[in-house]
Structure 1
Amino acid sequence: MSPLAELVVGVVVLVGLFGAVVQIYPGSLLVLAAVVTWAVVTGGTVGWTVAIVAVVAVAAAGIGKYLYAGRYLKAAGVPNRTLLVGGVVGVVGFFVVPVIGLPLGFVLGVYLSEWQRRRQASEAWRATLAALRATGWTILIELGGALLATGAWVIGLLVT
């Protein structure tokens, strides 16, 4: 692969890593697409090894984040309906208040849904904090998978 093409792959990987943190677009899938594209073009043992490592890392992180978040929220007593309401209000908030509306809307939606369900402000806030913690962990898990894929790509670059 030409140095310019590798630079483009690097830029896409950086954009993907940013997306894994901000959660506005599927960042880890962007990282995976860039790394696998590099691997296929590069070919050989190194290229295919990097592709396999990247796919396994991103897939494991994708599965792991949902399993962990679901178990954590179930233990905290937060139902799926609450997360759905939080997500919908978050999307509306994204368009009402650009940039920060998504997280603000999510928090507001989870809080209001839990307040309506439990009729107690302290319990609603406890559930909201649990949802925020679970969301934070899912972001870290996804970022970890994307970073492992990125690390495999960097090692592949150094070897080739």
Structure 2
Amino acid sequence: MSVLGEVLVGLAIAVGLVGIVVQVLPGNALVGGALLLWAWATGGTTAWVVFAVAALLIVAAETGNWLVAGRHMRRAEVPWFTLAVGGIAGIVGFFLVPVVGLFLFFTLAVMLVELVRRRDRAAAWQATVAALQATAITIGIQLLGGLLATGVWIVGLGLT
């Protein structure tokens, strides 16, 4: 692959990593897709081994993310419906109030849904904090997987 191609793959990976943090783009899917494109264009055993290792790291991160964040939400007795409403509100908020709207609208929506569901302000706030913690856990695990996959790719660049 040409240097320009590798730079473009690197930019796609960077966009994916930002997508993990912002939680609007499918971050690790972008990272994995860029690495697949790089392996396909570069060719050879080394490129495909790099892709396979990176893909395994991404799959492990996504699986771990589901297990750990899901367990956290079950312990706090916050249903997936609450998170779905919060997620939709966060996406709407992202466009209404750029960047901060995502977190603001997510938090407010979770608080309101849980307040209606539990009818207790303290319990609703505890559920909201648990949802925010689960979101932070999700971002952390996904980012770790994406960064490890990126590191494998950087090593692969040196080897190919």
Range class of TM-score, shorter chain:
over 0.9
Of 123-132 and 59-68, deviating more is 59-68
Q: 2:50 is aligned with what amino acid?
A: V
Q: Aligned residue for 1:12?
A: 12
- Does the 8 Å contact 2:24/2:91 carry over to 1? no
Residue 152, structure 1, aligned to residue 152, structure 2:
yes
- In structure 2, how many angstroms separate the alpha carbons of the residues matched to 1:147 and 1:94? 25
Counterpart Cα distance in 2 of 1:130 and 1:66: 15
- Residue 110 in structure 1 maps to residue 85 in structure 2: no
The answer as to whether partners of 1:28 and 1:142 remain within 8 angstroms in 2 is: yes
Q: Secondary structure at the match of 1:151?
A: helix
Per the alignment, residue 122 of structure 2 pairs with: 122
Aligned residue in 2 for 1:97: 97
2:35 maps to which residue? 35
Gaps in structure 1 of 5+ consecutive residues? none
> 1:90 Cα shift?
1.8
The aligned amino acid for 1:12 is: A
Percent of residue pairs identical: 53
Cα drift, residue 58 of structure 1? 1.1
User: How far 1:66 sits from its partner (Å)?
Assistant: 1.4
**Counterpart for residue 141 of structure 2:** 141
Gaps of 5+ in 2: none
Q: Distance in 2 between matches of 1:49 and 1:133?
A: 35
Measured in 1, the distance between the counterparts of 2:134 and 2:101 equals 19
The amino acid of 1:117's aligned partner reads R
Counterpart for residue 86 of structure 1: 86
Contact 2:93 2:101 in 1 (8 A): yes
- Offset of residue 103 of structure 1: 1.3
In the TM superposition, residue 62 of structure 1 has moved relative to its aligned partner by 1.4
Residue by residue over 1:5-55, the C-alpha shift from the partner in whole angstroms, topping out at 9 and shown as x without a partner, is 111111111111111111110111111111111112222221011110111
Cα RMSD of the aligned pairs, angstroms, is 1.2
Moved more, 89-98 or 67-76: 89-98
Scaled by the length of structure 2, what TM-score is found? 0.94
Displacement after TM superposition at 1:88 (Å): 2.5
Is the Cα contact below 8 Å between 1:54 and 1:148 reproduced in 2?
yes
1:36–1:54: 8 Å Cα contact kept in structure 2?
Answer: no
